[in-house]
Each structure stands twice: as structure tokens, then as C-alpha cells.
Amino acid sequence: MRYLLLFFTLSAFAQTTPVAGIFHDGKGALRSLQGTRGAWTAPILVPHGVISAGYSGKTLWYKTETELHVLDGEETIVPAPHGPAAATFNETGDLVEIYFAAGEHAAWHRQALEFLDPVAEVPSFLEDLGPGRLLVRNEGGLYAWTPGLAPVLIPLAETPSFQLFHRTGDAEVPVGASFQMPAVAAGESSTARFRIRNPTSNPITISRLSIDPSPFRTFDQFIPPYLIPANGQGDFSVRFTPVEPGEFTTTLWINDLQVKLQGGTVASTSVEILEGSLWKLLTSPCDLGTVERKSTLNRRLRITPDAPPTLAGTGFTLSSSGSEWIINVSSDTARTLTGTLKVANRTFDLKAAFTEFPSPRPSFQPVSGKLTSGIQQAIVLQFAQPAKATVFGLLKLDFTPSTPALGNDAAIAFLPRMERTVNFRLNEGSTTADFSGSNSVLLQTGSTAGTIVLTADMGGLTEQAMYRIDPAPVVFTASKASISSSLAEVLLTGVDNTRSTGKIAFSFLRSDGQPASPGRMEVDVTSSFNNYFSTSGTGTFQLRASFPVTGDAAGLTGVDVEITNVQGATQSGRLPLK
């Protein structure tokens, strides 16, 4: 529907610039006739592909190679026989009949072709240019003719209001009536970049940008119709790709501006590059490969017939080895370098990429396994190979309790700052991570059963270790007992990583080794410990138990303590009374 858009644009424009006719120019374009008799202009509506057309002032039809376009308020497109066509209108300006080149004959009825009997000879009609006007073609010229008046030549070439430049680097060189493309060997390509500048204070429309059939092609271009604003620009490029030797000429069209494009071939110099064990033709652009920084990338070339090459580009050097040439590329930093190789009259764009040294993969010491609550474990990050460069990383701790009710124990952290992330560095040449001057970091395992996951991240390379802290009976970390003439005391410090302490039993002993009266004393402490654990957020505790003494206190020499949680009972061993 792009052509419909062009026609409606013309209709809107016609409010200020009357359209006197519409016709095809014999060069593939559909044009409008504007202005007044003797001062006609003919701007392009459809830039290419049109081979026949007619316009009654009410209805426009035009024919491409395989389609018929009819516009009468709206556009209808139908398949049509190949080749040009001729048509007739009735007195009210409606399309009536169409004759095709091979003698096929159709009526235009209800927005469709209704084919009739073919004709032996296609009638000859003067082309309808517009209301009361016919188009006359004579010796390559096009004339608007109103019967009773002399035909008036229609000038097809508009005076360009734009400027065309050839872009070479940052420079812009004006383009004249012709342009010479860089010569290439047959089967290869050369390119040129162009810029259309609008130096005026009004926008201009580029309705045609095309090249006549040839080894020349446009690319990286805008698609007409294209509006270039006041003092604006539009860019495009041309590629010359001859498939056989010779000299070639064609025409570049920009609206009515014609530029002769010329290009020729040169004798081919074969440039080959060694890929593995095979020699292959060097192409442009060519990616030479990727290596680590501080390395040198070497690629071997073979030139036939022998011709001295030149090489330019930061980090690129060229050396010879017998009948071969060697491209050397090096860089101390991670980046992509580009260079240009020239051999005879051929140019090859080259690039080589240099990457950062890969981060070596760490391993944890100790390896994944079990840890116990209430300890401080040294964590070491070891690497199999010495680092080629200093790299930095982050060690992160995540903890998941064995049951959600236990909560996320804040005491499980890296020391000394009680953090769950810590930075480290691997110095060049080293195989052990450095944690602020130490080759290890202390992990405090806290007082909660669950799973600790450590993740070392070095620039996207990650490694993990998982340590399981199993639910366990209560662990005593400190205990002592004391006695005076009237009071015995027991002080216990411990860890219950299940937070399920339920019972405590005390057994006092006399100096003769026999149990002191009243014997084993068992206490249900479930409620007290539940209250404590629910507010402390930790599994560590300290318990002080006091017992009044009657009789001879000196006869009591020790006490045994047993504490029980869901994982079982723990005995303190004999605590001497002091």
C-alpha cells in the first residue's frame, strides 16, 4: 500500500499546487504534471517499477510488471498479465476497458478485472494525461497536448535543491556528473559512502534513490519517500561487485539527478591465510581471532603473485618468513584492535580481540561437609594455578535453618565484624586468596541447626561450598560447681542448636562416693527454655542452679548434671564442688 500513500500525499499537496495530470515517464517512474502550460514541473510519485499509466482527473490507473493499481477514492491492486497495457475511460472519468500486450482484454467492473475475448491487435490509444489532456511521446520527449493547442514539452529533470557528497573518513567531497568507484578484482567488492545535504530552509522529499541494473547496488540507505528536514541530511552507500573482468557504467538516480557511476576490474592478487592446516582466501573484513591480553596473535599469509604488503593499525606488525608473511598483533590490555592490510590495489580490514585473563576457579578448604555449632572454622580459598593477574572477589554466606521456626541465626557470620559478605583478592602469582592480609577468614557457626552455603564470586565465575550443621544434643561449652556452708551452685553454659531443651537432672555425691539425699533431682524446664529461646534468637544459654544445703556441707564433693533435648541426653561428667 506504499503507492496509495504516495497518491494521497499528492492529493493533499494539490490544494496549493494544482495537479494537471499523472503519467509514467518511460523510465519506470510515475510522475505528476504540475504548474501551468509552458511552465510545467513533473515531480516523482512512484520512483520505479511503473510501465504504463493513465489518468482521467477522477481515476488513476498504473501498471507494474505483474499488477494493476486502480485509484478512485481508494486503491485496488489486482494481479494482471505481464507487460504494458492501454486503457479507456468513459465520459464520467471511470475506468472501462484495459488491453494487455499479449492481446488479453478485460473490463474493469466492481473493482475487478473481468476478462473478455482476446483481440488480435491491441488498439492504439493516446495516453490520458488528465482532464482534457493527452500525453504525446515523440523522439524521446514527452509532451502535454490539449486538442486545439500546440503540444508543450514536459521537462522531466528538476533542478536539485539538495547537494550530493562523497564521504571519505570525516571529509565530504562534492560529487559531480560522474563518480569513479574503487577498482576491484572480479568477484570482490568496493564500497563508497554518500551524503545528501539539504542546505535550504525548507524540507525536501527524496522520492527516488535507485541504480539502473548493473554490478552497482545501494545499501545502508533510507527508503524513499524520505523527508530530509531543513539543513538536514540523508546517508546511503553504494557497493560495486563485478562478477567478471571489465569496465562498467550505470546511472545513479536521486529524484531527477543523474550521476554516472563508473567502475572497473583489476588483475587479481591472491591473498591466503592459514586456517589450521588449510590455506583459505583472505576476505574483508577478517576476524583474526581472540587471545588473552599480553599474548601475541600470529597469522600466516601467502600472496600470489608475490607482492609486498603494508599493514597499519595499533598493535599490528608484519614480518616475513621465507615466501610467507606473518601478521603479529599484541595488546597489554583487554580490547579489540583493528588494522588495515594492503596488497597491490586491494585492501583488507582486520580485527583481533584480546580478553582479560580468565579467573582461576577456587576450591574451598575445608571441602563441603559437616560442621558443628559453636565453633570458629577457618575458611581457605585455594586455586590450582597461580593467578596471571590480580583479581578481586566476594565471599558470601547464606544460611537456611533446619526448620523455619529456628530463624536465621545472626551469630552465623564471618569474624571479626560479624558480616555475611567479605571481600578478598587473589594476587598475581598466588594460589591462595588474601582476606585483608590473612590467607583465611573465620566462620562462626552459631547455635542453630541448618545449612551454611558459601559462594565465592570472581567477576562472574562462582564456586560454592555447603556445610551442614546437624541437629545435636546439647553441648556444654563451660561448667562449674561451687559450695558454701549453706548453698551449692551449678553454673552451666551450653548450646542447643534445636532449641528444644526439656529436662535437667542433678545428682550430688558425698565424699564416700554415695549419692547424697535426696538422690537424683529431675526438673522439667521446657517452658522456661521455650520462653528464653523465643526472645533470645539464639541457641546459646547460661544456667545457674542453686541448692540449699543442710547438714555437713563439707561432706558433699561433686555433682553430675544431665540435660535432654529432642536429640538425646548430654552428661556433664563429674563436676567437683569447690
Angstrom distance (rounded) from CA 104 to CA 86 = 11
Task: Compute the C-alpha angle 49/54/56, nearest 5°.
Answer: 145
pLDDT value at position 67?
Answer: 94
DSSP label at residue 553: G
DSSP label at residue 516: P
**What cell does 112 get?**
475487478
Residue pair 33/19 in contact by the 8 Å Cβ criterion: yes
**What cell does 338 get?**
583493528
Return the HEC string of 29-57: CEEEEEEECCEEECCEEECCCCCEEEECC
- Architecture of the domain whose range is 362-469: Sandwich (2.60)
State the span(s) of the chain assigned CATH 2.60.40.4070.
475-576
Residue pair 240/263 in contact by the 8 Å Cβ criterion: yes
Residue type, 163: Q
Residue type, 317: T
Task: Compute the C-alpha angle 359/360/365, nearest 5°.
Answer: 130
Angstrom distance (rounded) from CA 445 to CA 440 = 15
Angstrom distance (rounded) from CA 555 to CA 199 = 116
CATH for the stretch 475-576: 2.60.40.4070
pLDDT value at position 207?
Answer: 86
Name the CA radius of gyration of the chain, rounded.
47
* 87-137 pLDDT, tens digit each: 999 999 999 999 998 889 999 988 999 999 998 888 888 899 999 899 999
Spatial neighbors of 275 by CB under 8 A, at least 6 apart, are none
Residue pair 360/383 in contact by the 8 Å Cβ criterion: yes
CATH 2.60.40.10 fits domain 163-264: yes
Query: Helices in 168-304 by DSSP H: which ranges?
Result: none
pLDDT value at position 17?
Answer: 57
**What cell does 258 get?**
543523474
pLDDT value at position 40?
Answer: 83
Using DSSP's 3-state secondary structure scheme, residue 259 falls into strand
Angstrom distance (rounded) from CA 486 to CA 360 = 67
**Residues 200-203: contacts with CB within 8 Å, 24+ apart?**
200/161, 200/230, 200/231, 201/230, 201/231, 202/230, 203/227, 203/228, 203/229, 203/230, 203/232
State the span(s) of the chain assigned CATH 2.60.40.10.
163-264, 270-355
Angstrom distance (rounded) from CA 437 to CA 392 = 14
The Cα-based distances of 290 to 278, 331, 412, 489, 511 in angstroms read: 19, 11, 44, 75, 84
- Residue ranges in the chain modelled with pLDDT below 70: 1-17, 157-159
Confidence (pTM): 0.47
DSSP per residue over 464-498, as a string?
EEEEEE-----EEEEEEEEE-SSEEEEEEEEE-TT
Angstrom distance (rounded) from CA 403 to CA 377 = 23
| CATH class as words, domain 270-355 | mainly beta
* 350-409 pLDDT, tens digit each: 999 999 888 788 999 999 999 999 899 999 999 988 988 888 999 999 999 999 989 899
3-state helix, strand, coil in the chain (%, to 5): 5, 55, 40
φ, ψ (nearest 5 deg) of residue 526: -55, -50
Residue indicated by cell numbers 504494458? 84
Residue indicated by cell numbers 597499519? 312
pLDDT value at position 9?
Answer: 38
Pairing relationship of beta strands 441-444 and 556-565 according to DSSP bridges: unpaired
Angstrom distance (rounded) from CA 472 to CA 406 = 14
Angstrom distance (rounded) from CA 413 to CA 494 = 19
